[in-house]
Structure 1
Amino acid sequence: MENPLETARAWSRSRAERKRKAAEADARTRILDAAEQLFAGDGYEATPTARIAEVAGVPKGLVFHYFPRKIDVLISLVQERTAVTEDEVEAVPGDPAGTLSRLARRLPLRASPAMRRILFREADTHRSVRERLGSLNAEIIRRAKFALELALPGSRGDAARLEAAAATFAAVLLYQENLCQLTGHHIDPDAVAELIAHALG
């Protein structure tokens, strides 16, 4: 027969462990949130670890507990907070413009405007960021090319043109946030889809 006192103690230990893990996860998330805000605004090099801790509301030592080096904060941000969402490509044969427009809406780059600024700002000086940006770009190109192949049956023999069209469209999806931040000019993906479709004939 179970000892009610032991059962209560085990439940209490389990509850305390869950609370501890939740608090740790919350602290780590706040550190990454603070780093994202600061790296986007001031840049990685200009942001001291102490400032990250201050904005996150945690002791500086806790930052080093989760991220032994400052670069580990940047690497974790880039790996965890940028992705291309996994969605089916919806292609309508004979309608490349509509297909690319649907792709733009259903295939968002999962990265906040701040994360996009970080990607572009730090790609020149940090190899891990440059590699991540390259892999995101390659994935969007791959999906755009596949969508165009489905929308334009029989076009696979014209791989170079499809690749160029996909790369152009990927540039709009990936880089427009950065362009908008720099210039205030927003590029309409639907208009670009129409231009690409027209160019492909």
Structure 2
Amino acid sequence: MTDYLDSTRESWTTVAEAYAEEARNGLDFKPFSRAMLAVFAELVDGPVADLGCGPGNTTAYLHKLGLDVFGIDLSPGMVAVARRAHPHLSFDVGTMTALDLPEGQLGGVLAWYSIVNTPPKDLPAVFAEFHRVLAPGGHLLIGFQVRTETRHITEGFGSTVSLDFHRQPPELVASLLRAAGFRMVAQLLREPDDTERSQQAHMLVKKDDF
């Protein structure tokens, strides 16, 4: 686990500025993503953690929807960019595999395409952490790319990197979420647009009230 976390942290820090510039207006062209985020915002009651927040664009979007939201990212470079771009919000460095957050205090968790660098064997531990930090009745929204393959890249955004992108079948992710103690609320599977290689999945799940 340490090896992939280290390479992921270093790679995203290397490309943080370039990625932030490219992703700056990404949600403007994603109506289905905005719709799922709006539903999430309507259902959530309490503070929200945007885990794997990157440059903070989606964190800021949820804030505009009225949520009390903060961001956490593995990459110090991404956190620095997010803090500069959104100084009115809170961003910290951390890992989804071991969150420095108290148990049962959050109304919502967002993992918006932030599990894509996590190997499938480590997803149960990550989902268990999501479940741990959510209060009873809390909601989790996940976005991810659909396929059954891992793609390794050594160059991205004009720099040398070492990143694995894991594309998951929805039925596997749904099964792992149920095993972690979540109940499915809604699923959206859509076809790729002109900028994407594969189908996209959004899953909204809930931690039971007891």
* TMscore range, shorter length: under 0.3
More helix by share: 1
What TM-score do you get using the length of structure 1 for normalisation? 0.24
More strand by share: 2
